[in-house]
């Protein structure tokens, strides 16, 4: 059931919308799960899907103990799917038309303190190719705020180090430039000059990838996750995630006085509301600034 309709929608997301492969894959899984549930409930055709059937599926998701954000994504996928079917004339009705997305409680991203980052990046990594690469990875993730997919997808043609930028491909295959300077630029140059040539094996297929594995191929997301997790353990932080370094990058920029719109541009957020979560993370800094700057904030009545 819904197999053809799901394939058409997935093709639309991939080709017309230019959604990233990860997004397309997640939406396809979500819709396959939805179709399986409908079949289990005896809903055998598209015309028989009504609001109650969709609500029953949402209740099933809630009862399964999934995270609220996961439930929101799955319901969002279903709403987009049904809107597409009506717009294309495949279906006459949209059973999700009046359905509201489940509210996701505000969650603040984990961040490292500046002191934790300094301790992590000041430790010895070794002077071999892997050590130079791992230091460069950590410095670039934190120093440029890259997503892990942007880091692993970085090609030599995207290195604009003399201009102080990296050209990266973000979500939805959107290209942007990320500034790079200081420790991140130095670590990357050291790796490119002394580490990458050693990793680029003569027997391996030539690649333009910046970050290579021990076999001379492009480094995978899983390998980057492992490198970051090991670095976290060195400072007593378990399960450190590459995205935590991106969150820390944004939070520390805000603490340093960077404009929110500038941070939005550097992170590659299409909507400022996505970036605004960092204003919540940095409340303590905002309060301190208020106390130190306002002429009457320290006076007692």
- Active-site annotation, residues: 147, 171, 243, 246, 269, 278
Q: Read off the tokens for 252.
A: 């520390």
Cα separation of 263 and 93, whole Å?
A: 41
Q: Which DSSP string corresponds to the chain?
A: --HHHHHHHHHIIIIIS---HHHHHHHHHHHHHHHHHHHHTT--SGGG--HHHHHHHHHHHHHTT--HHHHHHHHHHHHHHHHHHHHTTS-S--TTTTPPPPPPPP-PPP---HHHHHHHHHS---SSHHHHHHHHHHHHHHHH---HHHHHT-BGGGEETTTTEEEEE-GGG-EEEEE--HHHHHHHHHIIIIIHHHHS-TTSPP--BSSB-TTSSBPPHHHHHHHHHHHHHTTT-TT--HHHHHHHHHHHHHHTT--HHHHHHHHT-SSHHHHTHHHHHTHHHHHHHHHHHSTTTT---
């Amino acid at each position: 059931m819904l197999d053809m309709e799901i394939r058409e929608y997935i093709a639309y997301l991939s080709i017309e919308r230019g959604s990233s492969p990860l997004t397309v894959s997640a939406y396809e899984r979500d819709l396959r799960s939805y179709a399986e549930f409908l079949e289990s409930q005896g809903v055998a055709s598209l015309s028989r899907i009504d609001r109650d059937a969709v609500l029953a599926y949402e209740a099933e998701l809630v009862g399964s103990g999934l995270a609220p954000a996961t439930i929101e994504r799955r319901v969002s996928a279903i709403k987009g799917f049904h809107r597409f079917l009506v717009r294309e004339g495949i279906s006459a009705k949209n059973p999700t038309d009046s359905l509201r997305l489940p509210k996701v409680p505000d969650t603040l991203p984990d961040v490292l303190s500046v002191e934790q980052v300094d301790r992590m990046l000041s430790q010895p990594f070794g002077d071999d190719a892997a050590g130079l690469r791992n230091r460069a990875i950590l410095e670039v993730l934190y120093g440029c705020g890259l997503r892990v997919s942007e880091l692993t997808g970085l090609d030599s043609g995207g290195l604009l180090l003399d201009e102080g930028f990296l050209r990266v491909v973000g979500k939805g295959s959107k290209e942007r430039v990320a500034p790079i300077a200081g420790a991140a630029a130095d670590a990357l140059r050291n790796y490119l000059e002394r580490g990458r040539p050693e990793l680029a094996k003569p027997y391996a297929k030539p690649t333009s990838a910046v970050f290579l594995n021990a076999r001379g191929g492009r480094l995978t997301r899983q390998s980057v996750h492992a490198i970051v997790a090991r670095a976290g353990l060195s400072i007593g932080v378990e399960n450190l995630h590459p995205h935590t370094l991106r969150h820390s990058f944004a939070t520390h920029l805000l603490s340093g006085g960077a404009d929110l719109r500038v941070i939005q541009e550097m992170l590659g957020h299409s909507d400022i509301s996505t970036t605004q979560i960092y204003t919540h993370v940095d409340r303590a800094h905002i309060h301190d600034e208020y106390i130190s700057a306002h002429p009457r904030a320290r006076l007692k009545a």
